[in-house]
Amino acid sequence: MDHQSDTFPKLLNDNAQRFASRVAMREKDYGIWQSWTWAQMREEIVALANGLAALGFQRGDKLAIVGSNRPRLYWGICAAQCLGGIPVPVYQDSVADEMQYVLEHAEAKFVIAEDQEQVDKMLEIQERCPNMHHIIYDDPRGMRSYRHDHLHDFTEVQALGREFVKEHPEYVNQEIAKGQGSDISIFLYTSGTTGKPKGVVMTYDNIIMTARNSANFDKLTQYEEVLSYLPMAWVGDHIFSYGQAYVAGFCINCPESESTISTDLREIGPTYYFAPPRVFENILTTVTIRMHDAGKLKQRMYNYFMDVARKTGVKILNGESVGFSDKLLYSLGNVLVYAPLKNTMGFSRIRLAYTAGEAIGPEIFDFFRSLGINIKQLYGQTEAAVFITMQPDGQIFADTVGVPAPGVDVKIAENGEVIYRGPGVFHSYYKNEQSTRETKNTEGWVFTGDAGYFAENGHLKIIDRIKDVGRFNDGSMFAPKYIENKLKFFPHIKEAVAFGHERDYCTAFINIDLEAVGNWAERNNVPYASYQELAGNPQVYQMMLKSIEEVNRSLASDKLLSNSQIHRFLILHKELDPDDGELTRTRKVRRRIIAEKYGVLIDALYNGSKQCFIRTEVTFEDGRKGAIEANLHLMDVPTFTPVKEAA
């Protein structure tokens, strides 16, 4: 790229010329993939920008984006940026109160909402958000009888814009030209494991330079196809589906609805794909379960070839030399298993996949890599505009997260915390000077809050949140997340919470995976009526026991963590749920809340009792509250003597 456009509206103009007839965006709607080329998309965005201008949108105004991944909402981001405004994408599944905080905090003047559901939320909080002047909706369905002056249909706004442009033909172009790289481009609110969300202020330079560096790092081209399905408010989506798309000029595909993502993924067959580990985990679980239902012969074929793949597939992908017969066997496997499997998963065309956010189970990681899917890990956070470290092709390890991303410096602070600086480092937290100062020091180093170290090969290894790393009473290290992740690598364990800080030994809560365990129950004729009943089943307990023993065995071999072997556990009677505040929206465990809520159980784990009664408040899907009661079993797990020499 010889020219270096420094804002997205400018990139849009470039792309509209460079890739005029290439498809920029698709959306599955009305049964087919409706498509827009870069030129068409620019026209739509400009019309919207003009419309916003006509409604009085000023430089510096904030435009909230509320909804799932729809082209029009993406256009809203760019349209706001055209006018020098600041888009504020909001997690669409937040309840009205949560939204209210963000909208109020960001002082959003305009809102683009996806549909009636989101509009209703906006109307509900409108009175508490005095700055909110206009609500624009994408889908008019069911809104005929809404009579509000500040409610606008998206197409009406565009029509308004098309009128506006007749009188002010150069307005938007001028506004675009005014923009520069150091301007604020977007507010991205972090979900925050504790406390209120923080608005991370990003400049164009932050986003664009990071996107450009990473695109070069992975040689992304305009031919990539990406499925955008992750929340628009999340920095990852903003980089992958917006930043990199504008920089490289590739195509973004929006699924029809949340329920059709897997079908849509299969149809599109992306070449570049990002998903958090749990998505890959779910895929593997589904594959395993579905293969269980296959005939004997097919199962044996599958198992045989998956063994072959594990032996040679990873090597082939890493470019290592492989014997001829293995290569032959692998290509046979490719015809019979790998390629069809990738096809059913929608990964036939995949060139590059990333995962991040959590540790990924080595089995899962290897499974996909052995199939020939180039899945890599990266380590990043919102404050860095994602990329802190990435794995270069050919240097892929399951337990490390790669080398520092281009232009990023990473080092380990004395307390073991990972710190970094680079072009993507955020501008500030909006209206939160203190936090900004706490996170980013004067030299530009940002504190990640993660504990980690560089392995011998120069790759970064992350252990846990620095604040979560605790000590057992004997002073040895307790890294709960590390243990939990090890547990969660088992397909039938959905969530786990480990305890041990300032205790004598480690214990754990287990959440079973309803899909996996339910399937197992069906196959083994184990009757159950509810989640609770299944969770309390003795056979299920035995199954978990076996898994935890395995974890203990592996922990025993780690000299740092051999004390962390789980001595006792229980299976929770309900799923940990973001709606009950037990998890964050991104499904991270909220330890404090859990510790409060289930204090009885934790005590029971340490007082040696065999059973424990608990009554919990729950929030149902429709918002009603209720309580469930259960009598839980607690179980002891055998532990192993630490192996002196780590294997």
Partner 1 sequence: MLYRESGDFKTSYSADQQTFPIRLDRHMVYGILAFAFLVVPFLINDYWEKSVLLPFLVWAMAALGLNILTGFCGQVSLGTGGFMAVGAYACYKLMVAFPWLNMFVVVILAGLITAMVGVLFGLPSLRIKGFYLAVATLASQFFLIWLFNKVPWFYNYSASGMIAAPERTLLGIPVTGAEAPPWMTYLFCLTLVTVFAFIAHNLVRGRIGRSWMAIRDMDIAAEIIGVPPLKAKLSAFAVSSFYIGMSGAMMFALYLGSAEPSDSFGIAKSFLVLFMIIIGGLGSILGSFLGAAFLTLLPVLLKNIMVGGFGWPPDLAAHLELLLIGALIMFFLIVEPHGLAQLWRVTKERLRLWPFPH
Partner 2 sequence: MAEPTQDGRKIGGTLLEVKNITLSFGGVKALTDISFDIKEGEIRAIIGPNGAGKSSMLNVISGFYHPQQGEVWFRGQKRASMRPYEVARQGIARTFQNIALFKGMSTLDNLMTGRITHMHKNLFWQAIWKGPAEREEIAHRERVEHIIDFLGIQAIRKTPVGRLPYGLQKRVELGRALAAEAKLLLLDEPMAGMNLEEKEDMCRFILDVNDEFGTTIALIEHDMGVVMDLSDRVVVLDYGKKLADGTPNEVRNDPAVIEAYLGVGH
Could you tell me which stretch among 25-33, 87-95, 465-473, 556-564 binds partner 1 (CB under 8 A)? Answer: 25-33
Closer residue to partner 2, CB minimum distance, 124 or 256: 256
Q: Which of residues 130-159 bind partner 2 (CB under 8 A)?
A: 141-142, 144-145, 147
Q: Which of residues 185-244 bind partner 1 (CB under 8 A)?
A: 225
CB contact at 8 A, 254 and 481: no
Q: Is residue 297 a contact residue for partner 1 (CB under 8 A)?
A: no
In the list partner 2, partner 1, none, the entry touching 340 (Cβ below 5 to 8 angstroms by class) is partner 1
Could you tell me which stretch among 152-160, 283-291, 575-583, 608-616 binds partner 1 (CB under 8 A)? Answer: 283-291
The single residue among 142, 340, 362, 458 that binds partner 1, judged by CB under 8 A, is 340
In the list partner 1, partner 2, none, the entry touching 343 (Cβ below 5 to 8 angstroms by class) is partner 1
Q: Is residue 349 a contact residue for partner 1 (CB under 8 A)?
A: yes
Q: Residue 169 has which token pair?
A: 């033909």
Residue entry with tokens 């209703």: 120
Q: Is residue 259 a contact residue for partner 2 (CB under 8 A)?
A: yes
Residue entry with tokens 């990043």: 380
Closer residue to partner 1, CB minimum distance, 92 or 241: 241
Q: Is residue 39 a contact residue for partner 1 (CB under 8 A)?
A: no
Q: What is the dihedral of CA 593, 364, 635, 531, to 10 degrees?
A: 70
Q: Phi then psi for 248, rounded to 5 degrees? A: -90, -20
CA angle 336, 338, 344 (to 5 degrees): 100
The separation between the first and the last C-alpha atoms of the chain, rounded to the nearest angstrom, is 48
Q: Is residue 257 a contact residue for partner 2 (CB under 8 A)?
A: yes
Sheet holding 506-512, edge to edge: 493-499, 506-512, 566-571, 625-636, 611-619
CB contact at 8 A, 590 and 551: no
Closer residue to partner 1, CB minimum distance, 340 or 394: 340
Radius of gyration of the CA atoms of the chain, in A: 26
Closer residue to partner 1, CB minimum distance, 148 or 290: 290
Q: Across the chain, which distance is largest between two alpha carbons, in Å? A: 81
Interface with partner 2: number of residues (CB under 8 A)? 12
Query: What is the spatial distance between Cα 265 and Cα 353, in angstroms, rounded to a whole number?
Result: 13
Q: For residue 145, give Cα distances in angstroms to 139, 142, 151.
A: 14, 8, 11
Shortest Å, Cβ 401 to partner 2:
37
What type of residue is 439? Answer: T
Could you tell me which stretch among 65-73, 207-215, 293-301, 635-643 binds partner 1 (CB under 8 A)? Answer: 293-301
Q: Residue 153 has which token pair?
A: 């249909």
Contacts of 170 (CB under 8 A, 6+ apart): none
Contacts of 608 (CB under 8 A, 6+ apart): none
Closer residue to partner 2, CB minimum distance, 142 or 638: 142
Shortest Å, Cβ 257 to partner 1:
16
Interface with partner 1: number of residues (CB under 8 A)? 34
Closer residue to partner 2, CB minimum distance, 258 or 603: 258
Q: Phi then psi for 253, rounded to 5 degrees? A: -120, 125
Q: Is residue 342 a contact residue for partner 1 (CB under 8 A)?
A: yes
DSSP percent split of the chain into helix, strand, coil, nearest 5:
40, 25, 35
Q: Residue 116 has which token pair?
A: 């009636």
Shortest Å, Cβ 566 to partner 1:
35
The single residue among 4, 29, 307, 636 that binds partner 2, judged by CB under 8 A, is 29
Q: Is residue 260 a contact residue for partner 2 (CB under 8 A)?
A: yes
Closer residue to partner 1, CB minimum distance, 45 or 337: 337
Closer residue to partner 1, CB minimum distance, 348 or 557: 348
Name the site residues for partner 1 (rule: CB under 8 A): 26, 31-35, 225, 266-269, 287, 290-291, 293-295, 298, 301-302, 335-337, 339-349
Q: Using CB under 8 A as the criterion, which residues of the chain lie in contact with partner 2 when the complex forms?
A: 29-31, 141-142, 144-145, 147, 256-257, 259-260
